[in-house]
Structure 1
Amino acid sequence: MAVEKPEMARELKNRHVQLIALGGTIGTGLFMGAGSSIKMAGPAILFVYLITGVFAFFIMRALGELLVSDTKQHSFVNFIEKYVGKDAGYIVGWTYWISWITIAMAELTAIGAYVQFWLPGVPQWIPDLIFLLVLWGLNSVTVKAFGETEFWFSLIKIVAIVALIATGVILVAVGFKTPMGHASLGNLVNYGGFFPTGGKNFILAFQMVFFAFLGIEIVGVTASETKNPKKIIPKAINEIPTRILIFYIGALLAIMSIYPWTQYSSAESPFVQVFSAAGIKAAAAIINVVVLTAAASALNSSIFTTGRMMFALTSEKSRFHKLSRAQVPARAISLSVGIVGISVVLNGVMQGKVFGFITSVATTTFIVIYAMMLVAHLRYRKQMKGMLPKDGFLMPGAPITDYLTLAFLLFVFVVLFLQAATMWAAIGALAWFAILIIWRLTHRKLDNTN
C-alpha cells in the first residue's frame, strides 16, 4: 500500500493571497527609491513603469497558467524541472533560494537602521534580532500566521499610497501654493516636457524600475497552501495591472504634480516631501513607519519563500524535507532564518559596499529566473498543443507574448552594461550561474561514476 506524501495545509484565503500579491509589487523601492528614478527620467518614468508593468503581468500570466495546470506543485521551480530539465530546476531553485536569503539579509539590516530613527542609541543588532525572531516564530506556527502578518503589512503600505494619492488630488484641485509654484498637472510637462532627460536616461531607468517589481512571483509560491487555488491565484494575478496603475502610476503622478520633478532628491523619500508640503509635520516619522513595515514585509516574505524553496529542493530523505504538525516546513524555515541571522556580522565584516554588491548580484539573477519561467511555459504549451484545458488560466497571446517578454528581459539585462555599477552586478550574476552550472555538471558526473 502506497504511503501518501504529507501535504502543506491550505490555509491561505483569498484576502491573504490578494495582499501577498500586492505586497510583492510594492516595496521600499517605491517609498525610498522613487526619487532616484524620477531624477533619472523625469515624467517619462510613468511610461517606464507602465511598459515594465505590462511585461510583469505577462510573466505572472505565464506562471499562473502553469500553477493552475497542476496545483499540487510547491513552486514554479517544479515546473522548470518538469518542462526544461532537472539541471535547470536545480540551478534556478538554488539561485532563487540564495537570492532571497541575500535580499532578506539586506532587509534585516535596513530594519535596524529604520528603528534607529527613533532609538539612535540602541545597537542595530537588537531590533534586527527581535524582528527576525518574531517573524521566524510566526512563520513556524502556521501558514495562516504568515498570511495574516503579510496582510497587515501590505495594508499599511496601501494606506500610505492611497493617502499620498488623495493628498495629490486635493492639492492639485485647490492649486496649492508651494515654494516652487503651484500644485498642478502642468508640472508634468512644464519642465522640459515628458522626456526632459533624453533617451539614454529613459532607457537606463528600466533596470531601476524592473528591480522594483521583484517579488511579484511570490504569489506563485503560495499555490500549494491556498484554499481553492484555481480560483484565487488567477484572481490575484489578473488584478496586477490595476494595482500597477493605481499604486505606481497614481503615486508618481501625484508626486510630480505637487512639485516639479526637478525638485525631488534621490537622497530623500518623495513621500516625505509631499506630506511635508501638505503641512504634516510628522511626515518623516510616518514614512519611516511605512518603510520599516515594507522592510519587515520583505523579510517576512523571504522567510516564507526560502523555507518553501528549501523544502522543495531537498530530497524526501532529508531532515529539511519534513513538515511540522501544523503542516509547515519548520526545519527548512529554521535553517533559512539561521543563515539570514548571520547578516549583521557579515555586514560589519564586509562593509556596506561589498554587501550591497552581493545583493545587487542576487537581484540581477531574477532576470534569468523569470526567463526560465517563460521557457517552462513555452515547453508546456508545446507539450500540450491541441490539449489545453478549456477552463485553464491561459496566457493571452502566447507564445508571441512569451517571446516578447523574453526579449524585454534581454533588453533589461543589456541595459545593465550601460552603467559601471550595474555592469559589475550583471557580470557577477553571469559568474554565479557559470560556477553553479560547472558544479552541477561535475557533481552529476561523479554521481554517474559512483
Structure 2
Amino acid sequence: MSDASLSPAREDLQRGLSNRHLQLIAIGGAIGTGLFLGSGKVISLTGPSVLFIYAVIGCMMFLLMRSLGELLLSNLNYKTFGDIAKDLIGPWAGYFVSWTYWITWIVICVADIIAITSYVSYINASIPNWVPAAITAAVLAILNLQPVRFFGEFEFWFSIIKIVAILALIATGLVLLLSGFENPDTGTRSSIAHLWDHGGMFPYGASGFLLGFQLGIFSFIGVELVGTAAAETKDPRHNLPRAINSIVLRVLIFYIGALTVIMSITPWDKLDPDESPFVTTFAYAGFSAAAFAINLVVLTSAASSANSGFYSGTRMMHALAHDGHAPARFALVDARGVPRRAVFFSAVFVFSAVPILLLGDSVIEAFTFVTSVASTFIVFVWSMIAISFIAYLRKHPERHRDSSFKTPFPRIVPWLVLAFFAFILVTLLLADDTRLPLLCTPVWFVILAGMWQLTKRRLAREGRPLTAAVELPDRGEGARLGE
C-alpha cells in the first residue's frame, strides 16, 4: 500500500465489532487487575468503607460514560475522544487528548507485559523474564494486525474468564456464608455483621475513607474503551447505550458484591494486604489450587489490558495522522481496515518491555514511576470528555434536545464529574506514593505544548488546516440518536 492511497476520511476503519463484543469490552474495561490482586491492600487501608468508595467512583464513571455516549451518538463521525475534543473545544484540545491517551496506554501496555512476566515466573521460575515479554509483545502485534473483529473476539473471551472468576468467588463465598463457615485462621464465623463489627464501616475515619479514592480510581482505567471501540461497532445507536447503561450493575456485582462476600467470610482487619483475598476465600472452600488459578486469571486480565491498550494506541495514532498531527503514513489502512503502520509504530514501544526487563531492577523502578505518571494522565483525558460535553451543550443545544440517549441532569453532571476529578487530584497530592508522580505530570504537557507549536508551524507552511474537519451528522439523523 502506497502513501498515495491515503484515504481522506477514516471510514476505512470497518465496523466489525458486534453487540456481544462491545458488551464484553465494556465489562472487561470495568474490571481491573487490581480487583484480583490489589483489593486486599485497599481493604486494609480503608476497611469496609471501600464499598462506598467503589460505589461513588462507579457512579461518577457511569455519569461520565453517559456524557461520552451522548457525544458519540450526536455525530457518528466522531471516532475518538480526540475528534470530540478538537470539534467542540479546539484543535489544540484534540492534539493534547490524543497524544496523552496514546502514551498513557502504551506505557500501561508495557507495564502489563512486565507484570505478565511475574505471573509466568510464579508458574515456572526457570523461564527467563525476557521470553514471555517478547512472546506477549509479538502476539499483541499479530493480534492487532488482524481485522477488528479478532480483537473483539479475544476481548470477549478474556472478559468471560474474569467474569467467571468473580461469579465463582461470589458463589463460593455465599455458600460459606450461608453454611456458617468458621474461619480456621481467625476463629470467627462467617457473618455479614463483620462489615460493621470491627471498628464500624469507617474504621479509619474521614481521612482513611478519602485516601481510599486515590487507590480505587485507577481500577477503572479502561472503562472508556467502550468509546474507542464504538467507532468500529455495528449499529452503535443500539449497542453503545446498552453497554453504557449496564456499568452501574457491573460495579454492584463485580466490585461491591465480591468485596462484601470476602469481608463477610474473613473480617477485613484479618485479611493479609499482601495476598489476594480471592485466593484466600477459594482456599477456605477447599480449592487448594486457588493461588495457581487466580494467577492464571490475573495473567489473562493483564493480557486483556495490554491488548486493549495496544488497540487504543493504534487507533489514536491513526486519528492523529489523519489530522496531520502525526506522520501521514500512520493513517493508511489495508483492505481489511487495519491501520498496519500505526500498529508497527506502536509495537516498537511495546517491545521496549524486553530491554527494560534485561536492564535490571533500577530501570524497572524508574519505569514504575513513569507508569504512575501515565496513570494520572487518564484523569486529564476523562476531564476533557466532561469539558467537551459542556461545550457540546453550548454549541449544539439542538443535538442534545433531539437525542434519545440524553445525559441525566446535563447542566449539573459534567461539573459534578469535574469536581470529583479535582478531588481525586487532591487525594493524589496527599498520598506519599502518588505525590511526586502527580507533580511531574506538568512536564509532559509542557513538552506537548512545544510539540503543538511546531506542528502548527509545519501545517501553516504546508497550507493545511490545524486539524481535519469532522463531518456534520447526516440530515434527519438527530431525531434518531440513541434509538
Measured after TM superposition, the shift of residue 320 of structure 1 is: 0.8
Moved more, 257-266 or 98-107: 257-266
What is the aligned partner in structure 2 of residue 415 from structure 1? 427
The one-letter code of the counterpart of 1:339 is: F
Structure-2 residue corresponding to 1:303: 310
How far has the Cα of 1:425 moved from its partner?
1.2
1:43-102 per-residue CA deviation (whole Å, 9 max, x = no partner) reads: 000000001111000110111011111122221110001111111110111011001000
Q: How far is the alpha carbon of 1:127 from its aligned partner?
A: 1.3
**4+ residue runs over 6 A deviation:** none
2:226 counterpart of 1:219: yes
Given candidates 232, 249, 270, the residue that maps to 2:256 is: 249
Residue 282, structure 1, aligned to residue 294, structure 2: no
| SS state at 1:252 partner | helix
Asked if 1:351 corresponds to 2:363, the answer is yes
Higher mean alpha-carbon deviation, 423-432 vs 33-42, is at 423-432
Tell me, yes or no, if the aligned pair for 1:60 and 1:217 is still in contact at 8 Å.
Answer: yes
CA contact (8 A) 1:71 1:223 kept: no
Aligned with 1:293 (options 291, 300, 319): 300
Do 2:133 and 2:353's aligned partners in 1 also have CA atoms closer than 8 Å? no
1:186-335 matches, within 5 Å, as 186-315=193-322, 318-335=328-345
Instruction: Verify the 8 A CA contact 1:69 1:392 in the aligned structure 2.
Output: no
Once the two structures are superposed, what CA deviation does each residue of 1:356-376 show, in whole Å capped at 9, x if it has no partner? 100000000111111111111
Alpha-carbon RMSD across the aligned residues, in angstroms, is: 1.7
Gap runs ≥5 in structure 2: 1-6, 463-483
The alignment status of 1:21 with 2:31, answered yes or no, reads no
Q: How many angstroms does 1:445 deviate by?
A: 5.2
Deviation string, structure 1 residues 124-159 (Cα, Å, up to 9, x no partner): 111122222223212211101000000000000000
Given the alignment of the two structures, is residue 433 of structure 1 paired with residue 445 of structure 2, yes or no?
Answer: yes
Report if aligned partners of 2:158, 2:304 keep a CA contact under 8 Å in 1. yes
Deviates more, 1:17-26 or 1:126-135: 126-135
Report the AA paired with residue 388 of structure 1.
H
**2:458 & 2:348 partners in 1: Cα distance?**
30
TM-score by length of 2: 0.90
Alignment match, 1:390: 402
Alpha-carbon offset, residue 419 of structure 1 = 1.6
Once the two structures are TM-superposed, the CA of residue 388 in structure 1 deviates from its matched residue by: 2.7
Residue from 148, 152, 169 that aligns with 2:153: 148
Partner of 2:414: 402
State which drifts further: 342-351 or 97-106: 342-351
Equivalent residue in structure 2 for 1:375, among 371, 377, 387: 387
Inter-CA distance 235–178: structure 2 relative to 1 (3 Å threshold): same
Cα distance in 1 for partners of 2:168, 2:124 equals 26
Identify if the C-alpha distance between structure 1 residues 104 and 111 changes in structure 2 by more than 3 Å, giving closer, same or farther.
same
Further displaced range: 85-94 or 134-143: 134-143
Residues 170 and 257 in structure 2, CA contact (< 8 A), matched pair in contact too: yes
CA 1:316 to 1:405, structure 2 compared with 1: closer, same or farther past 3 Å?
Answer: closer
Given that residues 116 and 133 in structure 2 are in contact (C-alpha distance below 8 angstroms), is that contact kept between their aligned partners in structure 1? yes
> Partner residue of 1:366?
378
Separation (CA, whole Å) in 1 of partners of 2:219 and 2:8: 44
AA partner of residue 442 (structure 2): L
Q: Which amino acid aligns with 1:191?
A: H
In structure 2, C-alpha distance between the alignment counterparts of 1:260 and 1:441, rounded to whole Å? 56
Q: C-alpha displacement at 1:194, in angstroms? A: 0.4
**Structure 1 unpaired stretches of 5+:** none
Structure 1 position 351, deviation (Å): 2.5
What is the CA-CA distance between 1:428 and the residue it aligns to?
Answer: 1.5
Are the structure 2 counterparts of residues 182 and 432 from structure 1 closer, same or farther at C-alpha, using a change threshold of 3 Å?
same
CA contact (8 A) 1:347 1:355 kept: no
SS in 2 for 1:314: helix
Residue 70 of structure 2 contacts residue 403 of structure 2 at CA under 8 Å; is this kept in 1?
Answer: no
Q: Is the 8 A contact 1:6 1:323 kept in 2?
A: no
Q: Does 1:61 align with 2:61?
A: no
Residue 439 of structure 1 deviates from its aligned partner by: 3.5
Choose 391-400 or 11-20, whichever is displaced more: 391-400
The 3-state SS of whatever aligns with 1:320 is helix
Contact 1:42 1:197 in 2 (8 A): yes
Alpha-carbon distance in 2 for matches of 1:372, 1:274:
40
Whether the aligned pair in 2 keeps the contact of 1:195 and 1:202 (CA below 8 Å) is yes
**Following TM superposition, by how much is the alpha carbon of 1:386 offset from its aligned partner in structure 2, in angstroms?**
4.4
Change (3 A) 1:150 1:387: closer
- Please tell me whether residue 73 in structure 1 is matched to residue 83 in structure 2: no
Query: Could you tell me how far apart the structure 1 residues matched to 2:440 and 2:194 are?
Result: 40
| Residues 291-325 of structure 1 deviation map (CA, whole Å, 9 limit, x = unaligned) | 00000000110111001000001137811101111
Matched residue SS, 1:189: helix
TM superposition score normalised by structure 1: 0.96
- Partners of 2:32 and 2:163 lie apart in 1 by 11
CA–CA distance in structure 1, aligned partners of residues 83 and 416 of structure 2: 24
Shift in CA distance, 447/300, structure 1 to aligned 2, threshold 3 Å = closer
Partner of 2:402, secondary structure, is coil
| Alpha-carbon distance change, 87 to 75 in structure 1, aligned in 2, over 3 angstroms | same
> Quick one: which amino acid aligns to residue 369 of structure 2?
F
Query: Percent identity at matched positions?
Result: 42
Shift, 1:338, TM fit = 1.9
Contact 2:74 2:403 in 1 (8 A): no
| Amino acid in structure 1 at the alignment position of 2:134 | L
| Number of residue equivalences | 449
For residues 30-179 of structure 1, the aligned pairs below 5 Å read 30-179=35-184
User: What is the rounded CA distance, in whole Å, between the counterparts of 1:240 and 1:69 in structure 2?
Assistant: 21
What is the SS of the residue equivalent to 2:159?
A: helix
Q: Distance in 2 between matches of 1:324 and 1:447?
A: 26
How far apart, CA to CA, are the structure 2 residues paired with 1:19 and 1:233? 12
Stretch moving more, 393-402 or 153-162: 393-402
